[in-house]
Structure 1
């Protein structure tokens, strides 16, 4: 069952029907079926994951097919949580997908793990297995949830993919200067760089943090402990 979106408390997202009595097939066979469905994609694949590391994770299993699909023009929209931008393996995955042509976005929390192929097939984790569902009401429900989350998520810039780990010393110094209320011009003088360089650094940090504004970037940087001692909170 899908929980309420953390970004929209006013209206609960639709609930998935409870499916009962489905016969299970071996995991390898089910993965082969999913791979075949994914490889047959013609228009669009939606990839959504909270990166919880669940055993039946349908997102991490089919990377080679994903890249083959992107090369032949299938549209990919990928939605991960913000922390994927600063963890080594997820950050690499985001960067590879963005450079390959996928539209990649992140948001504070992703409430579901799913693949949707051509709005006709939904793949959801089911314990240690995968559920491959073609019931229109289920596929439409998952797709509708993704469509409602997508506009609120922050794009990953293909030319400036996220990097794992904490910020470099100069980036940390810039964050501290901005948190203390410095202008771009003042920060540039303190760092010994041009104003253009400062603005490029700010843009890169916002992308890395998954922030839509400088204020949001400052809040997220503080939450991660990226501000030097003595910076304004």
Structure 2
């Protein structure tokens, strides 16, 4: 006797049986024996995992089937509505697929802007094969990084490889955002909805404007492999300007393409160099002493 009400005992038994923690000894004997929780988990979870795998496989198949229609969709859309040729690519797999197709079809030129510091090594390894194939077809390749990318070893390796086979890479102090342009006909820019998405536009006026922005930045940029005499000065000049404007360290770090920690080190060095005891005093001294006067390279770029 358990001392528990019969109804409660029956409910408990049903619950344990449903969880596969009890099982009958045989088909005739009504006695029950306990089952290892590990074995019970296997009995309950295995069918669910198989069902999940089936759903994932079905989802991947649907994605693959529909992605195969993207080239036809974009081709017909361009012919049908050339003045409204703007598409939102919502997720990373779609962006990667469309980028790979555009790279394979590129015939004349590709222009790329990559803001921030160095890029992850696994992304650069994937890019090398794609870029090598374009360069082998005679495609002109120009890439813009920020100056801080010069200190990234994976980026240095990538640039060395690409420049050996005809690619051109330069750096500037600031960049406004990521962008890739193929044959001056189609441009990818980030989607505001999230970091994984992108916007693909073929609208001639938009693409021409973006090409103009790239060409202007390229004219004022420095070759990646050449030393910069005033690289640090330009970086600190940007920091000073943004400090005076009241920007936070996080925004300044994003603008110049470094970590917040590195940005704060630059700020400390700046204040120490000016003999300032506070950021407010540093801003006043910078404005009063003409520290924000453009460098010769910046002045030449603005002409």
- Cα distance between partner residues in 2 of 1:23 and 1:217: 37
220 and 83 in structure 1: CA distance in 2 versus 1, 3 angstrom threshold = same
- Cα distance between partner residues in 2 of 1:59 and 1:141: 28
- From 45, 48, 52, give the equivalent of 2:110: 45
Deviation at 1:110, TM superposition (A): 1.6
Match of 1:122 in 2: 187
59 and 138 in structure 1: CA distance in 2 versus 1, 3 angstrom threshold = farther
Contact 1:155 1:210 in 2 (8 A): no
1:145 equivalent to 2:209? Answer no
- Cα distance between partner residues in 1 of 2:236 and 2:90: 47
1:210 equivalent to 2:228? Answer yes
Count of residues in Structure 1 that have an aligned counterpart in Structure 2: 152
TM-score, normalised to structure 2, is 0.43
Secondary structure at the residue paired with 1:45?
strand
CA-based RMSD = 3.6
Going by fraction, where is helix more abundant, 1 or 2? Answer: 2
- From 158, 163, 174, give the equivalent of 1:109: 174
Runs (5+) with no aligned partner, structure 2: 1-83, 238-261, 266-273, 275-303
- Cα distance between partner residues in 2 of 1:122 and 1:68: 20
Contact 1:41 1:74 in 2 (8 A): yes
Deviation at 1:65, TM superposition (A): 1.4
TM-score, normalised to structure 1, is 0.55
- Cα distance between partner residues in 2 of 1:42 and 1:109: 29
- Cα distance between partner residues in 2 of 1:23 and 1:103: 29
- Cα distance between partner residues in 2 of 1:54 and 1:129: 18
22 and 99 in structure 1: CA distance in 2 versus 1, 3 angstrom threshold = closer
- Cα distance between partner residues in 2 of 1:122 and 1:217: 29
37 and 72 in structure 1: CA distance in 2 versus 1, 3 angstrom threshold = same
140 and 220 in structure 1: CA distance in 2 versus 1, 3 angstrom threshold = closer
User: Which stretch shifts more, 132-141 or 58-67?
Assistant: 58-67
Taking the TM superposition and a 5 Å limit, the aligned residue runs for 1:220-231 are none
Secondary structure at the residue paired with 2:95?
helix
- Cα distance between partner residues in 2 of 1:124 and 1:221: 25
Taking the TM superposition and a 5 Å limit, the aligned residue runs for 1:1-233 are 24-51=89-116, 62-126=127-191, 127=194, 128-157=196-225, 207=226, 209-211=227-229, 216=230, 219=233
60 and 144 in structure 1: CA distance in 2 versus 1, 3 angstrom threshold = farther
130 and 217 in structure 1: CA distance in 2 versus 1, 3 angstrom threshold = closer
Rg (Cα) greater in structure? 2
